[in-house]
Amino acid sequence: MLPRVIIHTAVSADGRIDGFTPDLGTFYGLVATWKEDVTLAGSDTLLAAAQADAPATEEPLPAPDPGDTRPLLAIVDSRGRVHTHAALLAAGYWRQTIALCSQTTPARHMAYLAKAGIPALVAGQKQVDLKAALAQLAAQYGARVVRVESGGVLSGVLLRAGLVSEVSVLVHPVLVGGSSARSFYRAADLGAADSPIAARLISAESVGAGIVWLRYALG
């Protein structure tokens, strides 16, 4: 059984995910909609986040309280670049972090994870096999709902693999422009025989300060 996967993202009115300041209060206020069991984060997103400058620590992290109902944070990190699990936990939103690794994740990083008591799920040869990792999260951690916290690359891989159930887009009243393709769905251009993913509108709602919240079901 695979979990339901939801991409919740903030975009400008011209479809970019960068070059503007999202209304984080509104963005995270809506996250409660899905009651996620797991937040699935891309390594580049976390390396760009506030905690990225926190010092790495190999001190064992506290084991989660069995009664703690906060979500898990699963980090797609085959290259072993995220060393800020302690700082991410200290943010208070998650009960535990989990590293999603592959067969080629550096041994040094696997040793860091083991020393810090951070669970590692290994799936895939080079990059993380996301379908297998989602299946492991469901089987080992009971994950039924996964919310993706990422830029366009991880979301792009999940969308092309047909693993996403819902896309939630918070359209901000701002136009960024530019020539780089920074949308929340980054992937190779469609071939002549390929089709775009059909999306069914679930709801369209004005959520204040000129922001429109669009929810689409996929599949």
Ligand X SMILES: NC(=O)c1ccc[n+]([C@@H]2O[C@H](COP(=O)([O-])OP(=O)(O)OC[C@H]3O[C@@H](n4cnc5c(N)ncnc54)[C@H](OP(=O)(O)O)[C@@H]3O)[C@@H](O)[C@H]2O)c1
Report the nearest approach of ligand X to the CB of residue 17 (Å): 4
With CB under 6 A as the contact rule, the residue among 6, 38, 42, 166 that binds ligand X is 42
Phi, psi of 21, rounded to the nearest 5 degrees: -100, 110
- Nearer to ligand X by Cβ, of 115 and 126: the residue is 126
Distance, CA of 191 to CA of 204 (rounded, Å): 30
- The length of the chain is 219
Report the nearest approach of ligand X to the CB of residue 137 (Å): 14
Extended beta strands in 56-130, E state: 72-76, 96-101, 120-122
Q: Does residue 76 bind ligand X (CB under 6 A)?
A: yes
Contact segment (CB under 6 A) with ligand X among 57-65, 138-146, 153-161, 209-217 equals 153-161
Whole-angstrom CA distances from 186 to 41, 102, 207 are 15, 22, 26
Q: Does residue 71 bind ligand X (CB under 6 A)?
A: no
Q: Cβ(6)–Cβ(36) under 8 Å?
A: yes
With CB under 6 A as the contact rule, the residue among 23, 36, 37, 77 that binds ligand X is 77
Whole-angstrom CA distances from 151 to 8, 69, 135, 187, 213 are 10, 26, 22, 12, 18
Report the nearest approach of ligand X to the CB of residue 101 (Å): 8
Contact segment (CB under 6 A) with ligand X among 62-70, 109-117, 149-157, 171-179 equals 149-157
Residue number closest to ligand X, CB atom: 151
Contacts to ligand X by CB under 6 A: 9-10, 17-18, 22, 42-45, 48, 76-79, 127-128, 130, 149-154, 157, 186
